[in-house]
Amino acid sequence: MILKCLFGVHQWQGCKCSTCGKTRDEYHDWSADCERCSKCGATTKNTHKWNGCKCGLCGKTRDQDHDWDGCKCRKCGKEIHDWDGCKCRKCGKTRDQDHDWVGRKCRKCELIDAPLRVICQKCSSECNALGRPLSRDVVPVSTLAAARAAARYCNKCNIVVCGACSGVPYSLAGNRPFAATCPRCNGYVDYATAYHVRETKTRIV
């Protein structure tokens, strides 16, 4: 601790000394949350200015008094759907699960499960997207070349990339373990399907 702080001469930045970390109960920063200081963590109660589900001062949200436009709140963006398999009964939004397949086409959302040749959104090479999702108990078996050409999807970044860009190596020399990850966020990637391609800006060959 600097000598000045020992004698009470602090370098205050709002409620906290930038030198020693000492705090004081004034000049708090409530901008991110009206009830919690972003600098020192001090809390208070009942200071939000609620406009429905969203605070008009800090933007904090709560799960009540929503302003629904169909299945989505106009203020905070929360969505609550009434799913009938893969399609919402109210707004028509679809999801890539619980399809009702008739042959290779879903009766509800009309998704066709034919595999697609698409362009990787990182290196622009061609790769292969599945027609429909793999069952949870299915483990794909393929050659290394096929794995590098298999399209992968990152839900966080909403992109489709090839296996090579997601970390599948050229060879397994030395039996080194690897895990396919997103080249942008290093997060989990799943095998891309026709649904993922439809939800992104991926180009189809």
Over residues 90-131, the pLDDT tens digits come to 999 988 788 898 887 888 988 777 788 999 999 999 999 988
Q: Among 55, 62, 92, 95, which residue's Cα sits nearest to residue 198?
A: 95
Q: Is 2 inside any structural domain?
A: no
Same domain, 123 and 185: yes
pTM of the shown model:
0.55
- How many domains is the chain partitioned into structurally? 3
Same domain, 94 and 122: no
* Contact assessment for residue 153 and residue 159, using Cβ atoms and an 8 Å cutoff: yes
Tell me the pLDDT tens digit for each residue of 173-200.
555 667 789 999 999 999 998 888 888 8
Q: Is 178 inside any structural domain?
A: yes
Same domain, 87 and 132: no
Q: What does the block give as tokens for 37?
A: 């200081």
The boundaries of the domain holding residue 47 are 33-76
* Contact assessment for residue 65 and residue 50, using Cβ atoms and an 8 Å cutoff: yes
Between CA 161 and CA 166, with CA 162 as vertex, the angle to 5 degrees is 80
Residue 101 has phi, psi (to 5 degrees) of -75, 135
In the chain, DSSP finds a helix count (H) and a strand count (E) of 3, 15
